[in-house]
Amino acid sequence: MNKEEFKSIINEEIFNKILKMIDEKKLSMNNTILFQKHMGYCKMLKNVWNPCFEISSLSRRFKQMIADEEKKNEENEESLLVDLCESYLLLSKWASLELILICVPCLLKVASAKDESEEVQTEVEMALLALSNINEYIEMKRELYFKEIKEIIEYHQEHRNLARLDYQTAWKFLMSRFFNDDSLDEVIVNELRFGREAVRELEELRGNVDWKRKEEEKEERRKDKKKELIILRWLGTLEQNFTYFKLWNAEFVWLIGSITRLFRASRDNYRVISEQCLVLFKRTTNRFEAVEELMKGGAVDDVLEEIKQPTLDDRLSLNVFHFLLDLLRKLKEKKKDEMEEVKRKATIRKAFEKMEEEGYEDIIISFYEIFNFLFRRYYHGLSLNISDYFVNI
């Protein structure tokens, strides 16, 4: 079942029907929980967002059951509470603070298991996926999660005990907490070495995907689907990092190089990945060190090549020109330090020479005002077919 087909069957009606079957004794609660966990797992892997569960009567029943189980505090029923928390969080992105206070410690305990057996690792994966679905805007105090998630990440860095998806998911949960606690910046960047870890993961994943496989090779393509999913999840986490984090070190320069290589590898047959790489390029242009690396590593050349593609569409056009405009704006910012200013002038000279050589500078400048207008009013798309402007390039 593809993503669109899966989205079409998840609606409020189906959840209300399930609750009716439970009340009529046609479906046991245990089977319902297992079904909900499987549905939530598929939803996470397909990257589907759908609020229907949250507004259903079944959601209210689950919330009450979680609260009731937590009050019992019976050790032999702990697995039921885990299943309920996972079922709920995998399907709901807006859990109440009351449920967060119950579910987070419960699931972090499961995710902290060191046993590498297949059964335990499956439980770890479910717990981490459920935790990673908690919305970044939901505020939780450090003492609720920090010690445990930091230990999970550090233990993996030393022992490599987690599957790739699980490790990325642990980072996603921690990175999402930054939105309400920017003091995590220091820990994530300098203690846990996020840049280094992301480089290693992306490089290994890039080396394990057959980038030459075309869409029509569906049977073979399925083998790379999970790797593709993990890459996209890493890129999504990187976007959050590049957008909000203030700290920057040499590892992030290496990371830009890694993203550039991924962009180059994926742009023929894995467009969804290459487009996300392009979004990341756009996010990094607020730092001069990043602009230098984008120029030196060939990312700018690769992006310029995109304009010549016969498959250029409006969304891609918007991202390409947004990236180039932001890059040129950053290069125009004068530096107070004399040596830095000399370096900036040398870099901007190379950039404009490249633009002029390829014939793009005049095009970018001529559309400067219209793009500013469009960015202010159409964040997700354009009101006109701007790709038509590039037919003579």
Task: Specify if 279 maps to a domain.
Answer: no
Minimal CA–CA distance to 299: which of 330, 258, 334?
Answer: 258
Residue 81 is part of which domain span?
1-139
Q: For residue 108, is pLDDT > 90?
A: yes
**For the segment 211-248, what is each residue's pLDDT rounded down to a tens digit?**
987 766 666 666 678 889 999 999 999 988 887 777 77
Residue 376 lies in a domain: yes
Q: Tell which of 113, 139, 165 closes a domain.
A: 139
C-alpha 302: how far from its chain's center?
A: 23
pLDDT reported for residue 337: 75
What is the model's pLDDT at position 311?
63
Cβ proximity of 188 and 175 under 8 Å: yes
180 in any annotated domain: no
Instruction: Kindly state whether residue 6 falls inside one of the protein's structural domains.
Output: yes
Task: Judge whether residue 100 has pLDDT over 50.
Answer: yes
Q: Please state the domain count of the chain.
A: 2
Judge whether 27 lies within some domain.
yes
Q: Which of 80, 180, 78, 163 is nearest to 129 (CA)?
A: 163
Domain final residue pick, 139, 169, 202: 139
Question: For residue range 65-78, what is the model confidence (pLDDT) as tens digits?
Answer: 999 988 886 655 57
Residue 216: how many CB atoms within 10 A of its CB?
8
In a domain, 304, yes or no: yes
Pick from 109, 139, 169: which residue ends a domain? Answer: 139
The C-alpha angle 176, 182, 187, rounded to 5 degrees, equals 85
Alpha-carbon distances, residue 320 vs 40, 126, 292, 386 (angstroms): 35, 37, 18, 12
User: Residue 200 pLDDT > 50, yes or no?
Assistant: yes
Its pTM stands at 0.84
Q: Are 324 and 286 in contact (CB under 8 A)?
A: no
What is the number of residues in the chain?
393
